Amino acid sequence: MDSILENFGKKVLFFDGAMGTILQSMGLAAGEAPELWNLSYPEKVREVHLSYLKAGADILKANTFGANPFKCHDNHTDLKTVVSSGVQLARQAVAQAGHGMVALDMGPTGKLLAPLGELPFEEAVQAFSQMAQAGTAAGADCVLIETMNDLYEAKAALLAVKETTSLPAFVTLTFDEQGKLLTGGDIRTAAAVLEGLGADAMGMNCGLGPAQMLGLIQELRAITSLPLIVNPNAGLPREQEGKTLYDVGPEEFSLLMKEIVKAGAWAIGGCCGTTPDHLRQTVSLCNTIPCQKLPEVHSTVVTSGSQTVEFGNFPVIIGERINPTGKSRFKQALRNNDLPYILREGIAQQDAGAHILDVNVGLPEIDEQDIMCQTVTELQSLSPLPLQIDTSDPEVMESAMRIYNGKPLVNSVTAKQSSMEAIFPLVKKYGGVVIGLTITEAGIPETVQGRVDAARHIIETAETYGITKRDIIIDPLTMAVSAGKNAALVTLEALARIRQELGVYTSLGVSNVSFGLPQRENVTAAFFLMALQSGLNAAIMNPLSEGMMRAYRAFCALSGYDENCMAYIDAYTQQSPSAPVTAVADYSLREAIEKGLKDAAALAAQKAEKNMSGLELIDQEIIPALDEVGRKFEAKTLFLPQLLMSADAAKAAFDVIKSHIGGQSSEQSKLTIIIATVKGDVHDIGKNIVKVLLENYGFHVIDLGKDVPHEVVVDTVKRERAGLVGLSALMTTTVVNMKETIQLLRQETPWAKIMVGGAVLTQEYADMIGADFYGADAMASVRYAMSLANEL
Amino acid sequence: MLDRDEVLRYIGAAQNNDTINSMINRAEDEVIRTSRPKHIARLVSIEVIASEDCIILDGTPIKSRDLSQHLEGCQQGFLFASTLGVGVDSLVKRYSITNVPMLPVVQAVAAAYIEHYTDIAQKELEDYAEQNKMYLRPRYSPGYGDFQLENQRIVFNMLEISKKIGVTLTENFLMVPFKSITAIIGLSRDPSLCHINKCMSCSMKNCPFRRKKY
């Protein structure tokens, strides 16, 4: 055979079956790395390969599955040697048998990627690159990335392979019976991401038997135009007397595999529990079945790491709020690297009904690349919504597309040559749906025809980069109607014609239409409805605007997008009030804080400020209220969640007062507090609670996060001349690191007091490691900080 | 469905009130909605070498005096792992940014839920024990007593935990997703040693709940 890709689709290709479970039957212990047998028992590995070739395998999976730097970290063995020997053993078997090809086999690292896990994306890419390099040099014919249960990690591996070698790259994932990956991604999402990244084939392996996979393969076949590879286990695993058993025998297996080929698979084989017998029977039954033609798929989809949004099914709302334009508070957040503020804007839009979140963090005086990557990384670990990466800088665009865990919406490209030259290669490499703005070298065309022509130019140029229409959405540009009476009509007509004549989906940033007019929402909402009626598929808009959402929900109900008007009814039926509640405005500031009512506290502070100065309010209302809550907490008549609610309410009141008296919110803020979960520890719930409580009691707190190295703590304390350091550790094993941090702080920053907390700590422990104070609970830390502040 | 008293205990609330109750209701909905609980178990042979404070698990030696005492009289046992999945980590992260008062409640509900799920998952092990006229010892996890956390690596490899249920280990042997449990569960013919409840044989006496496990 010449190359795998040339043979794909001409006849069914056969992968081999299991390696690990067969080596186990030859004496490999549970928990022992099968890859190390490449060096210790090469003849046995070769023997397994040969037995599969004899059974009719076309492609051998080299024994390199776990040979990555995280799993094979035996100091005595060089990773490259393990990979090379694995590929070479398969090559030797192929030479001996006179037929067959070799796939470099890459399994998961066993680490979860950051930020929920600890492995940074680029480190994962690097690890897979090392394997790909070694495997290519050793003579592999293709790379099979397999048993992936995290789509993000599969992306790292695929990117690494595409960047390291020109060998064909295949990805098979492990789904559960519901068609979900362990990290939550579904089949549609996986298909969109892998196809976008340029996998040469995709499919599934391990986890399930052929019976369970059949339905999933039928689903997958309908939504991707990639060739499919299916390597099931010999049934679902069953534990018996300490052995993992797989119950589907060779005959049953082969009959089911026949159905899988009929469902459209081009390459099949086996995973755990399958044997040469399974393969032999499968080959004889499936060998002559002709391969199905690949389907043409036309859907336009973007995804997060877990879910998909398809355009054309309903009008899509793209939340526009993560954007500094015209928002001073947002600009301030960007300058201060206040990521939580930015993330809250995202979550609020998600809760308000956005389907996609636009992310634009461009501001001249900040490092846009850095903050864009931070925002994307954090937001994608919090929200299941797909992101729209919005930047005018192609470098920022590339780094964001790279670390994104799904198939993004990309905002944007224009019909200008330079723009298309910069953006299309990125869309081709990383996969994505790109928004094309109808802007030409001469500017924005004033006529409908001009905009349609610009759109056509974008679509035709994209084709030359191998980007099809399904990955382009055209935005015919909303212009301010105050600047030209036909501005809105031109946009709407262009929209309708582009949709009809060019067959692409459309989007608009609708808010621009009302620029320069009073009560803008009136005009924007009306224009939005007109655009929807003209066939608009997606709107970049503010989902927190009630007027816009009213228009949207009513349109969906009237246009058949809202079955039985359920969404409309959900949104606008008054919840029956459970008990008469005191109106928010009726509470005094002190009451509002004691009851933990945030909105009431802010309102009460505004009202009270008319009669009292800010400092009086703090001394006579806020501090006494917090004291009272603290006392009740200590007396165990109210509890941590309520303490935190009161602190939140106090914070809301502080914010009102601060905006008037300019920063000097309370005397206590003289004390700067540095807070961190120590090196090696990733538990930060307790630390986060203490942080918020301290902040809400008026302290300036710098949070260094979790797993913080000693030096970072010391350097920050020095730089900020902090008076208090709070260290948290949850495990006995990490208290050791707490001790080391304290020792270093004592040497370098002798002025700083140190308080410690965490589940395993006690007063004795705290004394032993040399802390000044042991915080038994969150309130105790606040009391201690207050006592230090009073001494200042 | 979840044991309210236990949730309250995790929150550190001595009694109930409307505010806390409604917060628990909300957290329960969300934790259950975002969880994708999974577990895995495998029967292993156990040899206790009391004189050397050591046990041998399917041929792999593990040094721990507390564990060897805990498993005294067992020739077999189960390696066990369970998790709520990574969705709960994401939920906790979300609350730490948007609504901190909910944080201790979500944490408490998730802790109660993994215990609840694990107790149910353990039923199949109990059935096995019963059929074979044996008794299960309480779960004993790496990190308890002098059963070093480093032993997570052994448990993870033997059970193929990352591959099968998606739990991963950090460099310092902590688990992600964070609501996950690994344990050794001894099987013995002698019911008399089985009265110790859950982690009562653990030497982390300071642990406020004595059942809570990280």
CATH of the domain at A257: 3.20.20.330
- Residue A288's CB is within 10 A of a number of other CB atoms, namely 8
A117 min Cα distance to partner chain B (Å): 6
In a domain, A293, yes or no: no
B-interface mutation test, from A685, A768, A777, most B Cβ less than 10 A away? A685
Same-domain pairing of A685 and A550: no
Same-domain pairing of A45 and A120: yes
Q: What is the pLDDT of residue A584?
A: 61
Token pair in block for residue A496: 């309708």
In a domain, A556, yes or no: yes
A229 within 8 A of A59, measured Cβ to Cβ: no
Length of chain B: 214
- B164-174 per-position pLDDT tens digit: 999 999 988 99
Same-domain pairing of A413 and A561: no
Token pair in block for residue B28: 């329960």
Of A31, A239, A685, the CB nearest to B158: A31
CA distance linking residue A315 with residue A555, whole number of Å: 10
- Residue A453's CB is within 10 A of a number of other CB atoms, namely 15
For residue B157, the chain A residue with the least C-alpha distance is A31
Of A610, A631, A660, the residue that ends a domain is A660
Contact B19/A596, CB-based, under 8 Å? yes
Of A660, A686, A711, the residue that ends a domain is A660
Residues 6+ apart with CB under 8 A from A215: none
A73 alpha-carbon distance from chain centroid:
28
Structural domain of residue B47, as residue ranges?
Answer: 4-201
Contact A343/B206, CB-based, under 8 Å? no
For residue B44, the chain A residue with the least C-alpha distance is A242
In a domain, A301, yes or no: no
Same-domain pairing of A537 and A550: no
- Residue A298's CB is within 10 A of a number of other CB atoms, namely 11
Task: Give the three-state DSSP class for B149.
Answer: helix
Contact A206/B163, CB-based, under 8 Å? yes
Phi, psi dihedral angles at B35 (to 5 degrees) = -80, 145
- Distance set, CA A561 to CA A90, A299, A363, A385, A463 (Å): 55, 18, 38, 20, 32
For residue B150, the chain A residue with the least C-alpha distance is A733
Contact B104/A689, CB-based, under 8 Å? yes
Place of tokens 């997606």: A538
A574 class by beta-carbon count within 10 Å (0-12 exposed, 13-18 middle, 19+ buried): exposed
For residue B132, the chain A residue with the least C-alpha distance is A241
Task: Give the three-state DSSP class for A342.
Answer: helix
Same-domain pairing of A57 and A79: yes
A241 class by beta-carbon count within 10 Å (0-12 exposed, 13-18 middle, 19+ buried): exposed
Place of tokens 């070739």: A53
In a domain, B208, yes or no: no
Whether the predicted pLDDT of B196 surpasses 90: no
Of B101, B166, B176, the CB nearest to A644: B101
Q: Specify the DSSP element, H or E, that contains A89.
A: helix A79-97
Whether the predicted pLDDT of B203 surpasses 90: no
Token pair in block for residue A243: 């052995």
Strand ranges (DSSP E) for A304-391? Answer: 308-310, 316-319, 356-359, 387-390
Quick one: which of A492, A487, A544, A550 has its CA closest to A513? A487
Of A344, A644, A685, the CB nearest to B107: A685
Q: Domain count of chain B?
A: 1
CA distance linking residue A458 with residue A478, whole number of Å: 18
Residues 6+ apart with CB under 8 A from A456: A502
Look at strands B135-136 and B180-188 and give their pairing.
antiparallel
A350 within 8 A of A387, measured Cβ to Cβ: no
Place of tokens 């997060």: A304
CA distance linking residue A652 with residue A592, whole number of Å: 11
- What sections of chain B are H helices per DSSP? 4-11, 18-34, 65-70, 87-98, 103-121, 123-131, 152-159, 161-165
Higher pLDDT, B187 or A239: B187
Instruction: Enumerate residue ranges in chain A where pLDDT < 50.
Output: 1, 576-580, 663-668
A80 min Cα distance to partner chain B (Å): 22
Token pair in block for residue A236: 């679902």
Quick one: which of B163, B81, B157 has its CA closest to A148? B163
Of A32, A111, A648, the CB nearest to B100: A648
User: Which is it for the CA torsion A776, A782, A783, A786, positive or negative?
Assistant: positive
CA distance linking residue A587 with residue A583, whole number of Å: 8
Structural domain of residue A650, as residue ranges?
Answer: 584-660
Contact A688/B143, CB-based, under 8 Å? no
A-interface mutation test, from B90, B91, B150, most A Cβ less than 10 A away? B90
pLDDT band at B195 (very low <50, low <70, confident <90, very high): very low
In a domain, A257, yes or no: yes
Same-domain pairing of A559 and A623: no
Look at strands B54-57 and B60-63 and give their pairing.
antiparallel
Same-domain pairing of A45 and A190: yes
In a domain, B47, yes or no: yes
Residues 6+ apart with CB under 8 A from A508: A475, A476, A477, A478, A491, A495, A531, A536, A538, A539, A540
CATH number, domain at B83? 3.40.109.40
A119 min Cα distance to partner chain B (Å): 9
Same-domain pairing of A474 and A360: yes
Chains A & B: contacts with CB separation below 8 Å: 167
CA distance linking residue A68 with residue A130, whole number of Å: 8
Residues 6+ apart with CB under 8 A from A351: none
Of A232, A252, A286, the residue that ends a domain is A286
Which chain A positions have a beta carbon within 8 Å of B208's beta carbon? 759
CATH number, domain at A620? 1.10.1240.10
Which chain A positions have a beta carbon within 8 Å of B176's beta carbon? 112, 116-118, 682
In a domain, B209, yes or no: no
Q: What is the pLDDT of residue A21?
A: 87
Choose the most confident range, by mean pLDDT, from A286-300, B6-20, B193-207. Answer: A286-300
Of A184, A641, A681, the CB nearest to B104: A641
- B125-171 per-position pLDDT tens digit: 999 999 999 999 989 999 888 899 999 999 999 999 999 999 999 98
Q: What is the pLDDT of residue A618?
A: 85
Same-domain pairing of A591 and A679: no
Of B93, B165, B168, the CB nearest to A111: B168
CATH number, domain at A410? 3.20.20.20
Same-domain pairing of A535 and A605: no
In a domain, B213, yes or no: no
In a domain, B214, yes or no: no
Q: What is the pLDDT of residue B209?
A: 45
Of A108, A184, A685, the CB nearest to B87: A184
CATH number, domain at A716? 3.40.50.280
Contact B13/A640, CB-based, under 8 Å? yes
In a domain, B155, yes or no: yes
In SS3 terms, A208-265 reads as CCHHHHHHHHHHHHHHCCCCEEEECCCCCEEEECCEEEECCCHHHHHHHHHHHHHCCC
For residue A111, the chain B residue with the least C-alpha distance is B168
In a domain, B211, yes or no: no
Token pair in block for residue A741: 């941090």
Reported ipTM: the value is 0.88
For residue A683, the chain B residue with the least C-alpha distance is B178
pTM of the predicted protein model: 0.91
Q: What is the pLDDT of residue A31?
A: 77
- B93-126 per-position pLDDT tens digit: 999 999 999 999 999 999 999 999 999 999 999 9
Token pair in block for residue A277: 């017998």
Residues 6+ apart with CB under 8 A from A316: A309, A355, A356, A507, A537, A538, A539
Q: Domain count of chain A?
A: 5
In a domain, B118, yes or no: yes
B195 min Cα distance to partner chain A (Å): 25
CA distance linking residue A56 with residue A74, whole number of Å: 35
- Residue A791's CB is within 10 A of a number of other CB atoms, namely 8
Which chain B positions have a beta carbon within 8 Å of A154's beta carbon? none
In a domain, A139, yes or no: yes
For residue A645, the chain B residue with the least C-alpha distance is B101
Question: What letter would DSSP give residue B137?
Answer: P
Q: What is the pLDDT of residue B171?
A: 87
